[in-house]
Amino acid sequence: MISAKVSPAQSFTFQSDAIAPDKSISHRCAMFAILAEGESRVENFLRAEDTLNTLKIISHLGAEITDDGSVITIRSHGIQESSEVLDCGNSGTGMRLFCGLLSSAEGHFILTGDEYLKRRPMKRVTQPLRTIGAKLDGRSNGDLAPLSIRGASLKSFDYTSPIASAQVKSAMMLAALRSDGVCTFREPELSRDHTERMLRGMGARVEINGLETKIWPLEKPLKPLDIRVPADPSSAFFFAVAAAITPNASTIIEGVTLNPTRIEAFKVLERMGSKITYTVTDERYEPIGTIRVENAPLHAVTVEENIAWLIDELPALSIAMACAEGKSIIKNAEELRVKESDRIKTVVDNLNLCAIVTEEYPDGYAVLGGELKSASVNSYGDHRIAMSFLIAGLKCGMEVHDIECINTSFPNFFELLGKCTKVEK
């Protein structure tokens, strides 16, 4: 088990166009390209374990992939049956979206993952897919990987999801593309919308009306992609928090997606008192631009709306809450229980080790701002927990164990963190 120590930072000015490319968009570029006719061109693809696993899977499914170190080209010949077990590594996004993508493909497919992914619930996608004819099975009656998929003819659907989840929505949309009729998907609140934006940009007929999305089956293959993957706002947010909690610090992140469903955490940080500005520079597939964050005194906040828009950023946001004046509260975040770790428990337990008073709820927690103390904490194999508490170390110094997981999403995290403080591994 590898550990890292970080030293407190006095101040820093951090400007970078090297934040990790967006993981959600990188996954989708690889998967959607296999439904396209011709050669897709993807610049700035995230070369991290999760997304490279997705790229490897589509190669097993018949895609021809060329990588010159700058641009990845993907030429599809349709989805082909693979003799290999398809390993999603640590990626819930990969496994859940492949369930939708492969449910109508001709052949038999096996999806697996690492020890952490095998514990994560899959019934949220396997159950609705089964109702439209998908032949999906796995451990615990299809709730746990490894998952077996035998391609089948899928019926059209009118489905209302009990949870707001971009992964569930995307899996059902991918199934809808090769169903026997027009499909309707509803969700209780709007989840992240990369799938809708990208599929429409590739020629799919997708109509959105509030919380309802209609998807028409493909009449012809999708148009190939020509895209530069923007920087990941979820990754950028770690350095936004770094600036917010460090006196006289500032951060400028360039080339990041400014999709409204992806920058909610920045909006919460603004409500807490941080000075943040946004500048749009491109709007082809997604609004893309620059985010600037400056240090300012932080105050407590209650977060209970648009949870689906900031679920990945809540661990880092909790570090800002620990440094704010007053009692911050997070509600309606049950989804945190089934991420790479039980993030409600791991955040609360680690903050307690740092002498921060917390209250744990079934659907969230409260954080009483105070003076963070240096501690030795565990990531529990969760990349976002690991990075969040390394950022906390900018305030007080910190030792974090089991940091290998950071490679699943942000391979150059330590390189960038080293621009803010001293790092020892």
Tokens of 343: 């993030």
Q: Cβ contacts of residue 65 below 8 Å, gap of 6+?
A: 55, 58, 59, 72, 73, 74
Strand partners, 41: 73, 226
Gap between the Cα atoms of 289 and 316, Å rounded? 22
Contact criterion met (CB below 8 Å) for 94 and 50: yes
C-beta atoms surrounding 210 within 10 Å? 8
SS3 state of residue 51: helix
Contact criterion met (CB below 8 Å) for 257 and 21: no
Dihedral sign for Cα 65, 68, 72, 74, please: negative
Contact criterion met (CB below 8 Å) for 56 and 240: no
Gap between the Cα atoms of 275 and 415, Å rounded? 25
The single residue listed with the structure tokens 């949309």 is 173
The single residue listed with the structure tokens 């006196």 is 247
The single residue listed with the structure tokens 């960038």 is 416
CA distances from 166 to 13, 35, 145, 413 (A): 34, 19, 20, 25
Known catalytic membership, residue 226: no
Gap between the Cα atoms of 276 and 46, Å rounded? 26
Strand partners, 398: 6
Residue type (1 letter), 421: T
Of 210, 340, 351, which Cα lies nearest the Cα of 330? 351
Radius of gyration in angstroms for the set of CA atoms belonging to the chain, rounded to a whole number: 21
The count of residues in the chain is 425
The single residue listed with the structure tokens 């030795």 is 376
The single residue listed with the structure tokens 């396209």 is 36
The single residue of 193, 312, 382, 402 carrying the catalytic annotation is: 312
Residues labelled catalytic: 312
